[in-house]
Structure formats: structure tokens, C-alpha cells
């Protein structure tokens, strides 16, 4: 019934192959590819920090690069002299750059997680309605703040609260209907349109100064980031990276399909919800401080996948590092392009991200998607 | 030794559309079990019930004597491996990494050399060693199928369920895969449950055949000689055929004749 060749194949299943040369060769190549990915990640992290320092020292009245490094070191060790004008201007230029560094990493990992768990290359905080929810929250805060009391942090709080609403709706629908990833994306898009319409209504009603303030927020700019904003942004982003790295193996399995995931012992629906909550909190935490910044979450994961593949254990940290680097560059370009006018990061990212995304789609490699 | 007991199982995606009706099955011997039946009769659904991918409306499924309703997905997955008919990998990993996903339950913090050994052996016996570094989305449908089977094998479970493992494979590999699955079941003493459409392949390689009929009921369960008779095939599939006793192993050889267009049989 079973031929000799097949019998030999079956027998090889229980054989010891530790001395097999072809196996050693395969194993060596596998380990080498892992090391190359780790080196690429470290390289991207170093690049992001070098770009950040360059961006800080390219600010108005700041010192040279070594001065910048020294001032930042003194700031970290608590020995910085804040009365010094160079220190003052260096630190003034530092907060937006650090905002870009942290925000870029956070938004990029949100894109990676959403695309993997929803198995959709178009998934990001926009297509799941999170950004639109945040816009609506900010719109209410800015409109009421300008008309009633001046309370800047209300914008952040409202943007954060309202950005979580789309996820709560998605969670509710998922629980009720065992929604598929496609249903979740389509629900997110529906919510996006609703919140966008509501934001437009508020914009129309508010008018004048409030409309202008809201437009500024909607353009998305790390220039809004202050020293006090960085700790919550950093905590949320680091928490997001740590949690997603912890779940990376499970996200890999989930990205191969719900049936596969369940068959591999993973509660697919629960993991997807956990991941959506993580991304909602991280992206809401960032967007509420920076305003709307698109394309980082959407494009970074695709660029990284082209070079190091779709394994989330490497994709997550590499995308975080690339997201940081891109946001820092966008901020730098925004400072220099129309100086002395500062062009918001959100506009630069969209101007550059749009063509890059179209190029990716046109030249997309079958093996990447 | 692994066992599967299915007792009075009904399954439907809602109460008005019942797919499986009062399924009873008792599998206590290792071997290759083929589930056959017309399209839409519930073959894949039965496989999913055993893997806890879906939960029955009524009745119980017991794996090694334990009701899977009382087991976590993780506990079930340590005993039952499942390879779906269609892979949904949207983002492409290398073939090695794709197969390594099957080792998820065996590793916690990164893959070890032992995992790589198992993956390598699976690639070797599925004849895809040369594809190790290729991206999954660059492969043909048949190569996808081989990768999926390798991903099922590396799970090293006592029960392995494969939904149409020979789909998209050329004739040589259809035969190779079925011989291999039979050989693995015999060698390792595990239960392999596959869903098949080719009656002759089923007749030649399965130890036991589970024949389903509309509307989602077990019509026959037994050896290929007991189940694959011309009467049974005509009643269940609606096609005339001749069954010849072939070769020294007396394997039924099915020669298909003309189809009988019957609304009841076709489920219209």
C-alpha cells in the first residue's frame, strides 16, 4: 500500500538530523537572517536618535551638535542650567522632536498591530475610526473652550475619551455578532464618516477663532507637544511596544487566519479585542497631544515588511524605529521648508506619505502583501 | 492513544439552518480516516467541531475522554492539530517562518534548534526544502498546500485534521501526500482525519471512511470496502458507478458513470 520511497520519507520523520549538513546549512542561514534583522532594527533606532539630535540642533538659536548632546545629558542627569539662553532654546526645540520620536514609534506600532490582527493592509487608526473620534472630541473641547473657558488640556482629555468610543462600538459589535476583520474595518469606516460629519457641524457652528484653532489641531503638529506632555506619551508608547512584543508570536498566528489561530490554541476574538484596545489607547494618547497625523501608521509597516518580512517579533520594533525616524524627518522638513513658517508634521507626512503610498501600491511586490 | 468520541452532535450557524444532525462517531484506533460526501454536507464543519473551532448546538465531542467544551482552545490544540482548506496569510513570511508558526504551542520565547529540526524534517518530507527562504506569497497554490501540510505536521499532535489536503496538488503529490499521511498515522500511532473528494484515493489509502449524506448525517462508517459500494455512492452522491475489487489488497476501484440529476440528492 505504501511505496518504498514514501516509507523512507515517513521513517526520516523520527530520525536524528542534528548531524545532517543540509540541516546545519538551513539552520545557519535562519539564524543569520535573524541577526541581520536585529542589526537592522538597532541601525534604525540609532538613525532615529541621530536624526533627532540633528533636528534639535537645527532649531533657531541652538548650539552645535555636541552642545545639544551635552545639554540633553545634563537635562537627563538633572544638572542643566535652564537660565542659559542656549539651553533654553535647545530644550524649546527638544520637546517637539521628542514628541515626533515617541509619536512616530507609537503610531507605527498601532499600524502594525491593526494590519496584522485585522489582516488588512489598509488598517490604521484612521480606518478604524479612532482618529475621527479624537477629532470630534477635540472639536467639542476647542469649540466650548473658546466660547466658555480657556482650558487647553481639555482638548487632550476630550480627544482621548472620544477616540476610545469607536473601539468601544467595535468591541460591542464584535461581542454581539462575532464580527470578522472585514466587518470591523467596515464598521470603523462607518464610524469615521459619522464623526467626521459631526466634527464639520461643530466647525460650522463654532466659527471664527475656534474654527482656526480646530483647523490647527486637525493638521497635526508635534510643535504642540510640551515638556509635560512627554511622560504620558512615552509611558503609553513604551507600554504599547512592550505589550505588543509580548503578544507578537500570538499576533503572527492570528495573522494567518482565525481558524488557524483557534486551532493553535488562541482565542482569536479575544486577542483581536485586546490588540485593538492597546492600539486605541496608544494612538489616542499620541493623537490627543499632537493632533491628527496620518500615514505613519499606514505606511511604516509596509516599508518595513519589504525589507525584513512580516514576522511581528521584528516588524514591531523596526516599524517603531522607522516611524520615529520618519516623524523626526517630517518635523525637520516642516521647520526648514518654508522657514520661518513652521509647516505641521501632519501636512508633511501627508504630502510625502501620499506619493510614497501610491508608489508602494503601484510597485507593490507580490511577496510583501 | 488518542480517541475521538462524537455523541449526538447537532451543529448549525443558527437554529434555522442546521448543518450537522445527530452525529455519532467513535474513533479509538490510530490510522487515516477520510471524511467524504457531497459539497455542503458538513464535512469541514465536522472537522471544525472536533478542533473546537466551532461549538456544537447540542451533543458533545470528547477528545481522549474529555469534553472539549470543558477544555480551553490551548488544551485542545495540544492534542488536535488542524490544517484549514484555505490559508488566509495576507502578509507574507518566509516558508520557514510560516511553517514555524505551527510550533507555536511548543515554544515560548523564540524558536529553538529543536523547533528548526522539526520544521526542517517537515520541509524534507513534503519535498519543499528548496523553498525554505522563499516568501509564502510567491508560491503556487500547490506549494501553499505543501507548506500548510508541513505546518500541520510540525504541531506534533496525537490527532491531526486536514481539510482537503490534496486540493491543488498534481496527481503525483496527491498520491504521495495520501501515502505519507497513512504512513505517518501508522508509524506514529496517531489519528489523521482528512476531508477528501477523490473516492479512489480514499479507497486506496484510508483505514476507515466516514461517508456523510444530506442533510448533514453520517450515512456509513467503516472500511473502504464496506463503505465505498456502488449503492452507497449512488445514494449519497447521485452518480452511477461500478466498483471493482482491485489488486492484492482488494482495494475498491470506482469507475464513475453518468450523474443522476436529482433535487433531493443535490440539496436543491
Among A10, A260, A262, beta carbon nearest to B183: A10
**What is the SS3 assignment for chain B?**
CCCEEEEEEEEEEECCEEEEEEEEEEECCCEEEEEECCCCCCHHHHHHHHCCCCCCCEEEEEECCEEHHHCCHHHHHCCEEEECCCCCCCCCCEHHHHHHHHHHHHCCCCCCHHHHHHHHHHHHHCCCHHHCCCEHHHCCHHHHHHHHHHHHHCCCCCEEEEECCCCCCCHHHHHHHHHHHHHHHHHHCCEEEEECCCHHHHHHHCCEEEEEECCCEEEEEECHHHHCCHHHHHHHHCEEEEEEEECCCCEEEEEEEEECCCHHHHCC
Of residues B235 and A182, more confidently modeled: B235
B155 CB neighbours in chain A (<8 A) are 264
User: For residue A293, is pLDDT > 70?
Assistant: yes
B98 CB neighbours in chain A (<8 A) are 256
Whether residue B116 and residue A12 make contact (CB cut-off 8 A), yes or no, is: no
Of residues A73 and B154, more confidently modeled: B154
B188 CB neighbours in chain A (<8 A) are 13-14
Q: Which residues contact B268 (CB under 8 A, 6 or more apart)?
A: none
The whole-number pLDDT of residue A150 equals 47
- Chain CA centroid to CA A335, Å: 22
Specify the residue for cell string 500500500: A1
Q: Is B114 within 8 Å of chain A by CB? A: no
C-alpha cell at A22: 543540509
C-alpha cell at A247: 503578544
Mean pLDDT of A149-160: 68
Q: Is B117 within 8 Å of chain A by CB? A: yes
**Nearest residue on chain A to B250, alpha-carbon basis:** A1
Residue A3 banded pLDDT, cuts 50, 70, 90: confident
The whole-number pLDDT of residue A149 equals 46
Q: Is A4 within 8 Å of chain B by CB? A: no
Q: Is B130 within 8 Å of chain A by CB? A: no
C-alpha cell at A290: 499632537
A369 CB neighbours in chain B (<8 A) are 90-92, 137
Whether residue A259 and residue B120 make contact (CB cut-off 8 A), yes or no, is: no
- A residues 269-308 near B, CB within 8 Å? 305
The whole-number pLDDT of residue B194 equals 96
Lowest mean pLDDT among A39-43, A57-61, A207-211: A57-61
Q: Which residues contact A278 (CB under 8 A, 6 or more apart)?
A: A113, A240, A243, A244
Residue A322 banded pLDDT, cuts 50, 70, 90: very high
Residue by residue, pLDDT tens for chain B (268 residues) are: 899 999 999 998 877 788 999 999 999 999 999 999 999 899 999 999 999 999 899 999 999 999 999 999 889 999 999 998 877 677 888 999 999 999 988 876 666 888 999 999 999 999 998 899 898 888 888 999 999 999 999 999 999 999 999 988 888 999 999 999 999 999 999 999 999 999 999 999 999 999 999 888 999 999 999 999 999 999 999 888 888 887 777 788 888 888 887 777 777 6
Q: Is A30 within 8 Å of chain B by CB? A: yes
Among A11, A121, A311, beta carbon nearest to B90: A121
Q: Is A311 within 8 Å of chain B by CB? A: yes
Closest CA to A343 of A362, A356, A330: A330
Tell me how close the Cα of B43 comes to any Cα of chain A, in angstroms. Answer: 15
Of residues A147 and A23, more confidently modeled: A23
pLDDT (tens digit, 9 = 90+) per residue, A233-245? 899 999 999 999 9
Tell me how close the Cα of B248 comes to any Cα of chain A, in angstroms. Answer: 10
What are the Cα distances from residue B169, in Å, to B122, B141, B175?
17, 8, 9
ipTM, 2 decimals? 0.86
Q: Is B124 within 8 Å of chain A by CB? A: yes
Tell me how close the Cα of B119 comes to any Cα of chain A, in angstroms. Answer: 10
Mean pLDDT of A139-144: 83
Exposure b/e, A50-65, CB count within 10 A at least 16 = b:
ebbbebbbebeebbee
3-state DSSP assignment of residue A341: strand
pLDDT (tens digit, 9 = 90+) per residue, A324-349? 999 999 988 888 877 777 788 888 88
Mean pLDDT of A309-331: 94
Among B76, B124, B183, beta carbon nearest to A2: B183
User: For residue A62, is pLDDT > 80?
Assistant: no
Of residues A179 and A206, more confidently modeled: A206
Question: How many Å apart are CA B24 and CA B26, to the nearest integer?
Answer: 7
Q: Is B31 within 8 Å of chain A by CB? A: no
What are the Cα distances from residue B165, in Å, to A148, A262, B197, B202?
67, 19, 10, 12
The whole-number pLDDT of residue B211 equals 96
The whole-number pLDDT of residue B117 equals 92
User: For residue A365, is pLDDT > 60?
Assistant: no
The whole-number pLDDT of residue B160 equals 96
C-alpha cell at B143: 506549494
- The mean of the pLDDT values for chain A is 84
Using DSSP bridges, classify how beta strands B17-27 and B31-36 pair: parallel, antiparallel or unpaired: unpaired
pLDDT (tens digit, 9 = 90+) per residue, A91-129? 777 888 999 999 999 999 999 999 998 888 888 888 888
The whole-number pLDDT of residue B156 equals 93
The whole-number pLDDT of residue A13 equals 85
Amino acid at each position: 500500500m505504501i511505496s518504498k520511497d514514501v516509507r523512507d520519507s515517513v521513517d526520516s520523520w523520527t530520525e536524528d538530523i542534528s548531524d545532517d549538513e543540509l540541516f546545519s546549512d538551513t539552520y545557519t542561514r535562519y539564524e543569520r537572517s535573524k541577526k541581520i534583522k536585529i542589526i537592522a532594527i538597532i541601525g534604525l533606532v540609532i538613525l532615529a536618535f541621530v536624526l533627532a539630535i540633528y533636528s534639535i540642533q537645527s532649531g533657531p538659536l541652538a548650539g552645535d551638535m555636541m552642545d545639544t548632546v551635552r545639554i540633553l545629558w545634563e537635562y537627563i542627569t538633572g544638572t542643566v542650567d535652564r537660565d542659559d539662553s542656549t539651553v533654553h532654546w535647545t530644550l524649546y526645540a527638544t520637546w517637539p522632536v521628542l514628541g515626533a520620536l515617541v509619536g512616530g514609534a507609537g503610531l507605527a506600532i498601532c499600524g502594525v498591530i491593526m494590519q496584522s490582527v485585522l489582516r488588512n493592509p489598509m488598517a490604521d487608526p484612521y480606518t478604524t475610526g479612532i482618529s475621527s473620534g479624537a477629532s470630534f472630541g477635540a472639536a467639542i473641547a476647542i469649540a466650548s473652550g473658546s466660547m466658555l473657558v480657556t482650558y487647553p488640556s481639555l482638548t487632550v482629555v476630550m480627544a482621548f475619551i472620544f477616540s476610545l468610543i469607536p473601539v468601544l462600538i467595535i468591541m460591542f459589535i464584535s461581542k454581539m455578532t462575532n464580527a470578522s476583520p472585514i466587518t470591523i474595518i467596515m464598521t470603523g469606516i462607518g464610524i469615521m464618516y459619522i464623526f467626521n460629519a459631526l466634527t464639520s457641524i461643530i466647525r460650522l457652528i463654532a466659527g471664527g477663532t475656534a474654527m482656526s484653532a480646530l483647523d490647527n489641531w486637525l493638521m497635526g503638529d508635534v510643535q504642540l507637544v510640551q515638556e509635560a506632555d512627554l511622560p504620558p506619551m512615552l509611558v503609553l508608547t513604551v507600554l504599547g511596544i512592550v505589550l505588543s512584543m509580548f503578544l507578537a508570536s500570538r499576533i503572527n498566528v492570528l495573522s494567518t487566519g482565525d481558524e488557524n489561530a483557534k486551532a493553535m490554541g488562541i482565542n482569536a476574538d479575544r486577542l483581536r479585542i485586546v490588540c485593538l484596545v492597546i492600539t486605541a489607547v496608544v494612538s489616542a494618547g499620541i493623537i490627543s497631544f499632537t493632533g491628527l497625523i496620518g500615514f505613519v501608521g499606514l505606511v511604516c509597516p509596509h516599508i518595513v515588511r519589504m525589507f525584513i518580512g512580516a514576522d511581528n517579533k521584528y516588524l514591531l520594533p523596526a516599524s517603531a524605529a522607522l516611524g520615529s525616524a520618519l516623524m523626526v524627518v517630517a518635523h525637520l522638513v516642516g521647520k526648514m521648508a518654508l522657514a520661518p513658517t513652521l509647516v505641521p508634521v501632519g501636512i508633511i507626512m501627508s504630502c510625502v506619505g501620499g506619493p510614497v503610498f501610491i508608489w508602494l501600491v503601484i510597485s507593490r511586490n507580490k511577496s510583501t502583501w | 492513544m488518542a480517541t475521538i468520541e462524537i455523541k449526538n452532535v447537532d451543529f448549525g450557524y443558527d437554529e434555522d439552518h442546521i448543518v450537522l444532525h445527530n452525529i455519532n462517531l467513535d474513533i479509538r484506533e490510530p490510522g487515516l480516516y477520510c471524511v467524504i460526501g457531497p459539497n455542503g454536507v458538513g464535512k469541514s464543519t465536522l472537522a471544525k467541531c472536533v478542533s473546537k473551532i466551532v461549538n456544537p448546538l447540542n451533543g458533545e465531542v470528547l477528545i481522549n475522554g474529555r469534553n472539549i467544551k470543558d477544555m480551553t482552545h490551548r488544551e485542545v490544540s495540544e492534542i488536535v492539530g488542524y490544517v484549514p482548506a484555505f490559508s488566509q496569510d495576507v502578509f507574507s513570511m518566509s516558508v520557514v517562518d510560516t511553517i514555524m508558526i505551527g510550533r507555536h504551542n511548543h515554544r515560548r520565547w523564540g524558536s529553538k534548534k529543536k523547533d528548526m529540526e522539526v520544521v526542517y524534517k517537515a520541509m524534507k518530507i513534503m519535498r519543499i526544502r528548496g523553498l525554505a527562504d522563499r516568501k509564502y506569497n510567491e508560491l503556487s497554490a500547490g506549494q501553499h498546500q505543501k507548506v500548510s501540510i508541513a505546518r500541520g505536521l510540525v504541531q506534533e499532535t496525537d490527532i491531526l485534521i486536514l481539510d482537503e489536503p490534496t486540493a491543488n496538488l498534481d496527481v503525483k503529490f496527491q498520491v504521495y501526500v495520501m501515502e505519507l499521511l497513512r504512513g505517518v498515522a501508522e508509524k506514529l500511532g496517531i489519528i489523521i482525519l482528512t476531508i477528501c473528494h477523490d473516492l479512489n484515493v480514499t479507497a486506496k489509502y484510508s483505514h476507515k471512511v466516514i461517508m456523510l449524506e444530506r442533510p448533514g448525517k453520517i450515512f456509513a462508517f467503516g472500511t473502504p470496502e464496506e463503505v465505498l459500494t456502488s449503492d452507497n455512492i449512488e445514494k449519497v452522491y447521485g452518480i452511477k458507478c461500478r466498483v471493482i475489487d482491485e489488486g492484492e489488497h482488494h482495494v475498491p476501484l470506482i469507475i464513475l458513470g453518468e450523474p443522476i440529476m436529482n433535487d433531493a440528492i443535490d440539496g436543491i
